[in-house]
Amino acid sequence: MTIQTTKESNATVVTISGRMDAMTAPEYEKTLNEFIASGETSFVVDFQGLDYISSAGLRALLATAKLLKTKGGQILLSNVLGTVREVFDISGFGTIFKIKDSVADALADIG
């Protein structure tokens, strides 16, 4: 898994590619936690390049979202596609996270 972050005017865009599982999820959580600790409250997590997400990956997403909620922040997802999308639909994550078709859509939604 590789993580790239870009600071946009109204949010930090986190681009994830590869596999998000028990091996790599801690890195995602650590990255996001550091941004949250530094005061960032709005994130777009882009799954364009994500091949696979395991239960541990989903759990990391959940933990970050929960932490962000307590700080009045928000997390939007974009490009949730293919098998990753299937996992989202099965797990009910689709109702917890705002999912947009593209990073641009997500950024526009944050406003």
Find the binding residues for another protein in span 6-65 (CB under 8 A): 21-23, 54-56, 58-59, 62, 65
Residue among 44 and 58 whose Cβ is closer to another protein: 58
CB of 100 to another protein, least distance (A): 19
Q: How many residues bind another protein (CB under 8 A)?
A: 17
Task: Let me know: does 94 contact 88? Beta carbons within 8 Å.
Answer: yes
What percent of the residues of the chain are helix, what percent strand, and what percent coil, each to the nearest 5? 45, 30, 25
CB of 54 to another protein, least distance (A): 6
19 DSSP β-pair partners? 52
- Piece of 38-46, 77-85, 86-94, 100-108 that binds another protein (CB under 8 A): 86-94
Among 63, 50, 46, 53, which residue's Cα sits nearest to residue 88? 53
Residue among 35 and 88 whose Cβ is closer to another protein: 88
Which strands, in side-by-side order, build the sheet including 42-53? 2-7, 12-20, 42-53, 74-78, 98-100
Task: Let me know: does 35 contact 5? Beta carbons within 8 Å.
Answer: yes
93 sits near another protein (criterion: CB under 8 A): yes
Interface positions with another protein (CB under 8 A): 21-23, 54-56, 58-59, 62, 65-66, 69, 91-93, 95-96
